[in-house]
Structure 1
Amino acid sequence: MTRQIKVLIIDDDEINNLICTKVIKDYNPEMLVESLTSSTKGLTHLEDLVKNNPEDLPDVILLDINMPTISGWDFIREYRKMMTAIESEKIKLFVLTSSQYYQDAELADQYREVQKLFTKPLTSDILKEIDAYLN
């Protein structure tokens, strides 16, 4: 039996979160998908899991970078402080953004936690690429 892949979407756009959830479920109905609408909620959620249910940590995080209050970049810096090396190795973090700025791709490359930057919308081709990081 293969284990279920857990995906956490962190994006302030609820419509995008619904679309991403549908694309993920169409790609693999067995994937567990959770979405949160702010970096703050994402950090609080992960902190709670680390303390109380580390086995429930997501396998994949899809993170938007342009969010109010705490940007995706700020999220990554806080995430880095919170996660142990083992936990952050387990979780594959991907930036999923509508940004077309090449500077964002360059910045993503500077964060060891970020596996890759993808441009919205999420597609089955992107999910195939993400799948390769999990195997």
Structure 2
Amino acid sequence: MSLRVNEKIPFHLIHQMMKKAIPEENVKFSKEAKILMQECATEFISFITSEAVDLSRKSKKKILQTENILQAMENLGFDNFIEPLIIYYSRLKHFFETEKEKKNQNENQNENQNENQNQNQNENENENQNQNQNQK
């Protein structure tokens, strides 16, 4: 299952990934090397995805799951990638859970601040009304 030409990983992303993989700043990549890497990355993703989708369909699931991808990689002989991917996935999942908790805490703090502001505003309005009544 190959992707069509317009479905390749964007060239600038390939270049960024290649630069990040090499710690030496003075390394340059030829256009041909970047094109070849683009082809390799795109084909690799297509290959794994195709197998994972087949596994998902066999188990009568409509949503491709992490387990399908890991099983596909094992089936296709990429066993050495599985453990690092599990570790990465675990860290990624923890990161998103932490971010969600932070967001919820911020939302709760904002709600509490708004409630306090509203309460203070109501108290001030009541005080002003009482002062106005006392002045009359």
Q: TM-score, normalised by structure 2?
A: 0.27
Radius of gyration: which is bigger? 2
Q: TM-score, normalised by structure 1?
A: 0.27
User: Which gives a bigger RCO, structure 1 or 2 (Cα 8 Å, sep 6+)?
Assistant: 1
